[in-house]
Chains A and B, each alone.
Chain A
Amino acid sequence: MKKFKPLILAFLCENSAYRAIDVASMRKVSYLESIRVIKVPCSGRISSTHILQAFSNGADGVIIFGCLKGGCNYVDGNLRAQLRVKKLKKTLDIIGLGGERLKMHLVGFCEAGKILECMNNFYMKIREIGPNPLKSKGGV
């Protein structure tokens, strides 16, 4: 059997995590190729709809990176996103996708190491859980 390679969507806040990814790549540290990156003005812009859309389009996991607590350019966008993620996790549990397919981390813009570690851990976790069940049911 072919080894399962999860497809992961990462939403990155352009003020912190997107810079961190740049820094990480400047060190030429490889991050997992099946992680796809979307830049957003603030993690607070991502609504539950977008996360669900990602799942319905075949993502095995969605990871969101916001600024550190107190460091959001827009006062509390990161905390709002965190709250939204917390609520959506429960919904994902109920609908059978599983809340652990969604994760949010707060990182500073120079924490390249942390962001890679988070991505790696998440990747491993999703590999354990297995592919998005919507895929096999033809939802994609």
Chain B
Amino acid sequence: MSEARIGVFICKCGGEISNIVDLDSLKEHVKKIPNVVYVEEHDFLCFSEGQEALKKAIREHKLNRIVIAACSPRLHEITFKRILSEEGVNPCMLEIVSIREQCAWPYPDNPSKATEKAKNMVKTAILRVKTLEEIGEVTVPAKLSVLVVGGGIAGITAALKLADYGFQVYLVEKEATLGGKGLQLGTVFPTEDCGVCMVPYKLERHRKCLFKYVELVLTNPRTKIFTKSIVEHVEGYLGNFKVIVRKNPTYVDFEKCVACGVCEEVCPIEVSNEFDFGLSKRKAIYMPSPHILPRTYIIDEENCSKCGECEKVCPFNAINLNEKLERIELNVGAIILTTGFREFNPKNMYGYGIYPDVITQLMLARMLDLSGPTGGRLVRVSDGKKPLKIVMIQCVGSRDPKINPYCSSICCSIALKHARSIKERHPEIDVTIVYKDIRLMGKYDEKYLMECERLGVNFVKGEVIDVKWDPELKRFRIKLESFSERKCLLADLIVLSTGFIPSANAIELAEVLDVSLRRDKFFASTHPKFAPLETNVSGIFVCGAAQGPTDISETINQALAVVSKVAKVLGKGEVRVRLSKAVVNENYCIGCRVCEISCPFNAAKVSVQGISNVVEVMCKECGICAAECPAEAIQLVNYRDEQLSEIIKGVLSS
């Protein structure tokens, strides 16, 4: 490399600096340092005159390294870097010393101290700028395709929008149908429209229909759907992920199936329907709900005896019981995780699992759904009679330090929604909500609380101690403590507002993708405020309930936000990466894997030969690996150990 020609520019900042720091003595001090070929002071370096002066000096004196002593780098670093690159100097050959913030302003009464400190700081910066290495940029081609894992509301929204933007989308869903939890909900807040769109999906783009999207996803040429599939293996990085999807046999080709129902008639096996939480019966070949999409029959592998009756009768040859497991390899540029959540199982809490009349809110949602197993009729599961007293217990399995310490954030709204719709349909039913706190997170949820109060829903603040079945009364006795007072409530039906926990496959998936999870096992984002939807692996995003319980409006917001992120990153068809990265000295590396473990972004990987290797696209320049490496083999460019010790020596010398 050519010899360092350092230019030092000192800004007066219109007197802010020059009134306190003695710039003449600073200049004299700086001129004596070797390699400094040019020193200049200016009234305002950040103004256009100052910028012109900077450019002119760089050109005339052939400067290749610049030190600017002015305000904090936070303010004008970008401007100065731009000037450098305009003049053909690598923008990283710049060191900004904030003599205004660190020398002039703090010591207005002690100019000699301020000058002393400024001299020291500028000298250190000059020593440092000499050691800086050039940082280049590389362009990596990116695939214009995206993998969406999970076909719930978030996944469908993201897939459809990305397809609209022209990306090829692969949607992987572990169940046989799309729609996720939204399918089971009946009506959804805050608009009280149906979650499953009963008729409207045929009338295309019905305004309020949530699942109009499903139909559009299914028919879009740029979306490819893999049902009953899971992501088995992922390698690569942003722009170039190689994914292997394991596609379990569905036995029914959903593109051929017209849902005529002939197969269901001949199927000899009957079991209880878990989609309706056992409230109804189904065959081994069945349709969980008339409104599922893709509109197809599905075969339950566990219970199917493979007798082949259905295969024989199917008029469209859609059924193939000999279908085998398939592995499909995909190349994608980015991955979106929308694996959603599931209900916490409150086994043995408040009699759940012991008494059939203790149910969860999702079961109640199935019951209230007009197309559900009971046709919208409210019944006691045990005897089919109409319950006259319903008690809802909030915060079951959430806000409990022993189970899940977090607030599931949507259970209050769900309970209020159900209480309201029960009261509207059956004003004679007595509904009581036992709560710790009513927490309504949604924008429009307050109206539910008001409506419920108007309709006469009872609210009791307290904690349930015990639930017992009273055989004489044929009712439940609920003992609770409310404001240090013991109370007893009677109930025909108890509804538990259970909390929400991450989807069953989330942990497995996190291992496959090397993505980190929070302590509550939801996917962790890199920063709760500034990067809420980015995971620690660049190119893998998370949205919807996979990162914590969220309602539908928020889920859709997040899905759209992720789409814009993906479009921004992949849109140009290439990814530009700055190479200011961790680099490995192969002679020193002992292959101990400390870097691999400590890297928060999984950029460092130890190869088969036992040498660490940093994937430049994934590295985010934090230098944690460099600090952890016991052999000092891995170093962060421009924050190398030698460079840092140079600074330490510099600032501590007087």
A residues within 8 Å of B by Cβ? 7, 9, 18-19, 21-22, 25-26, 28-31, 33, 36-42, 44-47, 49-50, 53-54, 57-59, 70-71, 73-77, 80-81, 84
Q: Decide if A25 touches B102 in the complex (CB within 8 Å).
A: yes
Q: Decide if A50 touches B648 in the complex (CB within 8 Å).
A: yes
Chain A residues near B647: list those with CB within 8 A: 38
- Tell me, rounded to whole Å, the shortest Cβ–Cβ distance linking A114 to chain B: 17
Closest to B652 in A: A57
Chain A residues near B152: list those with CB within 8 A: none
Q: Decide if B620 touches A45 in the complex (CB within 8 Å).
A: no
Let me know if B585 is at the binding interface, CB within 8 A.
no
CB-CB contacts below 8 Å: B478-520 with A = 516
Given contacts A19-B74, A41-B636, contact A36 B623 (CB under 8 A): no
Which of B156-164, B197-205, B278-286, B624-632 lies at the interface?
B624-632
Closest to B623 in A: A45
Q: Decide if B628 touches A80 in the complex (CB within 8 Å).
A: yes
Chain B residues near A73: list those with CB within 8 A: 526-527, 622
Q: Decide if A33 touches B108 in the complex (CB within 8 Å).
A: no
Q: Decide if B528 touches A50 in the complex (CB within 8 Å).
A: no
Let me know if B548 is at the binding interface, CB within 8 A.
no
Q: Decide if B105 touches A42 in the complex (CB within 8 Å).
A: no
Chain B residues near A70: list those with CB within 8 A: 528
Apart from A28-B106, A44-B627, A75-B516, list 17 A-B contacts with CB within 8 A.
A7-B652, A18-B72, A22-B74, A29-B106, A30-B107, A31-B106, A33-B117, A37-B102, A45-B626, A54-B648, A71-B527, A71-B529, A73-B526, A74-B600, A75-B600, A77-B624, A80-B627
Let me know if B616 is at the binding interface, CB within 8 A.
no
Number of A-B contacts (CB under 8 A): 118
Q: Decide if B622 touches A77 in the complex (CB within 8 Å).
A: yes
Q: Decide if A9 touches B652 in the complex (CB within 8 Å).
A: yes
Chain A residues near B516: list those with CB within 8 A: 75
How far apart are the CA atoms of A29 and B101 in the complex, in Å?
10
Within 8 Å by CB of A46, from B74, B524, B528, B627, lies B627
Q: Decide if B651 touches A36 in the complex (CB within 8 Å).
A: yes
Chain B residues near A18: list those with CB within 8 A: 72, 74
Q: Decide if B117 touches A41 in the complex (CB within 8 Å).
A: no
Which of B2-10, B129-137, B339-347, B638-646 lies at the interface?
B638-646
Q: Decide if A74 touches B624 in the complex (CB within 8 Å).
A: yes
Chain A residues near B649: list those with CB within 8 A: 53, 57
- Tell me, rounded to whole Å, the shortest Cβ–Cβ distance linking A52 to chain B: 10
Q: Decide if B641 touches A45 in the complex (CB within 8 Å).
A: no
Q: Decide if B102 touches A28 in the complex (CB within 8 Å).
A: no
How far apart are the CA atoms of A45 and B624 in the complex, in Å?
5
Let me know if B110 is at the binding interface, CB within 8 A.
yes
Chain B residues near A39: list those with CB within 8 A: 73
CB-CB contacts below 8 Å: B75-112 with A = 98, 100-102, 105-108, 110
CB-CB contacts below 8 Å: B542-600 with A = 598, 600
Q: Decide if B101 touches A77 in the complex (CB within 8 Å).
A: no
Q: Decide if A26 touches B622 in the complex (CB within 8 Å).
A: no
Closest to A21 in B: B101
Chain B residues near A22: list those with CB within 8 A: 72, 74, 98, 101
Within 8 Å by CB of B102, from A21, A41, A76, lies A21
Q: List 20 A-B contacts (CB under 8 A).
A: A18-B72, A18-B74, A22-B98, A25-B100, A25-B105, A26-B105, A28-B105, A33-B114, A36-B651, A38-B644, A38-B647, A42-B622, A45-B623, A45-B624, A46-B627, A53-B648, A57-B648, A74-B600, A74-B620, A75-B601
Given contacts A28-B108, A70-B528, A73-B527, contact A44 B624 (CB under 8 A): yes
Given contacts A75-B526, A76-B600, contact A37 B651 (CB under 8 A): yes
Given contacts A37-B102, A45-B639, A74-B600, contact A53 B645 (CB under 8 A): yes
Within 8 Å by CB of B639, from A29, A41, A84, lies A41
Let me know if B612 is at the binding interface, CB within 8 A.
no
How far apart are the CA atoms of A57 and B98 in the complex, in Å?
23
Chain A residues near B100: list those with CB within 8 A: 25
How far apart are the CA atoms of A36 and B648 in the complex, in Å?
9
Let me know if B113 is at the binding interface, CB within 8 A.
yes
Most buried by B among A25, A26, A29, A53: A25
Closest to B529 in A: A71
Chain B residues near A77: list those with CB within 8 A: 600, 622, 624
Chain A residues near B101: list those with CB within 8 A: 21-22, 25-26
